[in-house]
Structure 1
């Protein structure tokens, strides 16, 4: 194994697949097929709901009608459209604690009154949410990342999925099931989506091809009640006429050829190994750290000993050539001694060295 210089940054910061596990050749071939089979559709404006063949493929995947699907430029745009449709300044919204930092920022910028509900090893604390609702909280939506949550890495249990659906129906709020990591499972049985369990029309589901194909395609989508999707599509028409047909047509060809299944297998196998190596390195080099080892996804949340201040740790770690994300970025308050580590963009031979650098930075800043 080659030694790495301190100048070579090892990044646990970004939730993106490393190039070695992206199917570049498959995407190139899919692009050729897209232009050959549908040159008019690929090069035209299209419609605001996205590339229609891909819309239908997604509908079939989720067992819904195409009218319930809206394909976007990445899932963050899908999030933005839904938030714009549902949330006005002053509206209460529920998110997990911790939650994805960009979701937190987006809802705050909308003027939403954000309530964070604690995450447990099996997902959001439903009892805590129920208590808030019984105390009078009436949220417009609850944003839930059910599988391999970003940043905590945990998965929402089946019982909690059922309880959330019951609460949403009883108290009249939308469950926003934000699910881009669902296919990147290392172990255990897949759980049904809340979308598939929903009998009351309370779930809007989002996902993306970023984690299974490549971030650069920028293709995500919403699935929900047809009236909600139709209203959002109308707004999208006025905003940009249509999303990128070229990228969506390439993704469609990648999916219908079966390359998507092979890509998922490649990414899942690589990330399973990386997650295992990262957990072992943390146990060896930072024995005071506590974490829940994920069953899939891209992220591992680490609680360091209380005498470690991540604000002080962050610049020292950067100087030692290791990048991390502060836990406080994912919280309205707290996270002083927590980190999110993404293992998706680091190769196995970088992980141990990266954790060694992080441990050295911790030792240098501890108690200061």
Structure 2
């Protein structure tokens, strides 16, 4: 049979990051490409005990279909966690449990925008949002980053221009803390400015905060949601970086009317997030394990970040890079004449992998950029991998 596929599928590109995962298992390969948490951070013994408790006390519910908006007990626990962790004061009715935060990234643009509408994103930004925009036929206008995250002055100018053209963007998507892929953090004055602009132009904000708990240096900053007095911000969180990514449990915090629309869409996507994972997350918070595990993760990742930065300082001559206060990634910029995508073949031959920066742009990619992950590789692998990468860059530059 000759299959005919929809026009929608022509707009959906395979993930470069997912494709790179195959290189992790090549003999001798050092990969900085994936966004993988380190398995050393998985609380194995605690999760074994939690599973035993669940099977003993909640098996009938944990193995059954659940409510679309999530396990009530988990939502109740999340209200306390959000208040303690990010000073976000909400009720359970403000929370929806999702199948990873990626589900919310797919669904919320559909909730807020029609095909052909515009959303505002950062450049570069997380590939999961780019995939959602492509899949749902939503256009974007991109706001550049500097070392302080989204340039809100540029955003203000863009909003004025769009208003003059009678174009109203339907949402603003941002990762203000330890941005993926760049690692930058938006300072307080820009956060306030962003909220002021969203209120002035009546545009909802989607705040993605998967890395907020992973701070290794600098002062903790308030989330946009905690500063939001007008119901402008929809906040995304996940257990993937602070418990285990394989459980695929995330959560969305928003106004009830937003979650009502999301609920209708989620029914079509998966009926409900799996109950067992939700019970695990519930016990993870209820037993206080989350508050003990995060400092252990921070200790491991801080060391790895510092090793990578020191290796870059020692070995990298033909590039500049971000110096993130937290998260999992840093951003490398090569000389303008270089193309990181073309260089990837040489890098693979030298047994080192990265994600090309062009994967993180919806429009007008900067080809001389790359993202490096520092959380997954071993300490010596980080040092050796940076040496291989520096050698690759020197070879590529010499060949131009």
Bin of the TM-score, shorter chain as denominator length: over 0.9
Matched, 1:330 2:350: no
Matched, 1:260 2:274: no
In structure 1, how many angstroms separate the alpha carbons of the residues matched to 2:391 and 2:27? 15
Residue 31 of structure 2 corresponds to which residue in structure 1?
11
Task: Name the SS of the counterpart of 2:261 in structure 1.
Answer: helix
Matched, 1:96 2:116: no
Q: State the shift of 1:63 in Å.
A: 1.9
In structure 2, how many angstroms separate the alpha carbons of the residues matched to 1:328 and 1:9? 22
Residue 348 of structure 1 corresponds to which residue in structure 2?
379
Task: Name the SS of the counterpart of 1:104 in structure 2.
Answer: helix
Residue 42 of structure 1 corresponds to which residue in structure 2?
62
| Superposition pairs of residues 282-293 of structure 1, within 5 angstroms | 282-293=312-323
Residue 349 of structure 2 corresponds to which residue in structure 1?
319
In structure 2, how many angstroms separate the alpha carbons of the residues matched to 1:287 and 1:239? 48
Q: State the shift of 1:238 in Å.
A: 4.1
Matched, 1:166 2:192: no
Task: Name the SS of the counterpart of 1:268 in structure 2.
Answer: helix
Tell me if structure 2 keeps the 8 A contact 1:312–1:365: no
Deviations along 1:61-111, one digit per CA (max 9) or x if unpaired, are 232010110001100012112122112111111101110122112113212
Residue 122 of structure 1 corresponds to which residue in structure 2?
148
Pick the aligned partner of 2:246 from 194, 200, 216.
216
Equivalenced residue count is 363
In structure 2, how many angstroms separate the alpha carbons of the residues matched to 1:275 and 1:293? 9
Q: State the shift of 1:346 in Å.
A: 0.8
TM-score (norm 2): 0.88
Q: State the shift of 1:37 in Å.
A: 2.8
Tell me if structure 2 keeps the 8 A contact 1:17–1:267: no
Task: Name the SS of the counterpart of 1:302 in structure 2.
Answer: strand
Tell me if structure 1 keeps the 8 A contact 2:317–2:390: no
Residue 226 of structure 2 corresponds to which residue in structure 1?
196
Tell me if structure 2 keeps the 8 A contact 1:121–1:155: yes
In structure 1, how many angstroms separate the alpha carbons of the residues matched to 2:295 and 2:143? 33
Residue 184 of structure 2 corresponds to which residue in structure 1?
154
Residue 30 of structure 1 corresponds to which residue in structure 2?
50
TM-score (norm 1): 0.95
Comparing 257-266 and 294-303, the one that deviates more: 257-266
Comparing 51-60 and 126-135, the one that deviates more: 51-60
The 1:169–1:302 alpha-carbon spacing in structure 2 relative to 1, beyond 3 Å, is same
Q: State the shift of 1:203 in Å.
A: 0.5
In structure 2, how many angstroms separate the alpha carbons of the residues matched to 1:189 and 1:286? 28
Pick the aligned partner of 1:78 from 98, 101, 104.
104
Task: Name the SS of the counterpart of 2:56 in structure 1.
Answer: helix
In structure 2, how many angstroms separate the alpha carbons of the residues matched to 1:100 and 1:356? 27
In structure 2, how many angstroms separate the alpha carbons of the residues matched to 1:246 and 1:210? 15
Pick the aligned partner of 1:69 from 87, 95, 99.
95
Tell me if structure 2 keeps the 8 A contact 1:301–1:339: yes
Gaps of 5+ in 2: 1-25, 83-87
In structure 1, how many angstroms separate the alpha carbons of the residues matched to 2:109 and 2:119? 10
The 1:241–1:312 alpha-carbon spacing in structure 2 relative to 1, beyond 3 Å, is closer
Q: State the shift of 1:327 in Å.
A: 0.6
Task: Name the SS of the counterpart of 2:142 in structure 1.
Answer: strand
In structure 2, how many angstroms separate the alpha carbons of the residues matched to 1:159 and 1:116? 20
Tell me if structure 1 keeps the 8 A contact 2:183–2:330: yes
Q: State the shift of 1:262 in Å.
A: 2.1
Comparing 34-43 and 162-171, the one that deviates more: 34-43
Tell me if structure 2 keeps the 8 A contact 1:147–1:182: yes
Residue 131 of structure 1 corresponds to which residue in structure 2?
157
Deviations along 1:126-180, one digit per CA (max 9) or x if unpaired, are 0000001111252100100011000010111111111111111110111000110
Matched, 1:358 2:384: no
Matched, 1:280 2:280: no
Residue 56 of structure 1 corresponds to which residue in structure 2?
76
Task: Name the SS of the counterpart of 2:96 in structure 1.
Answer: strand
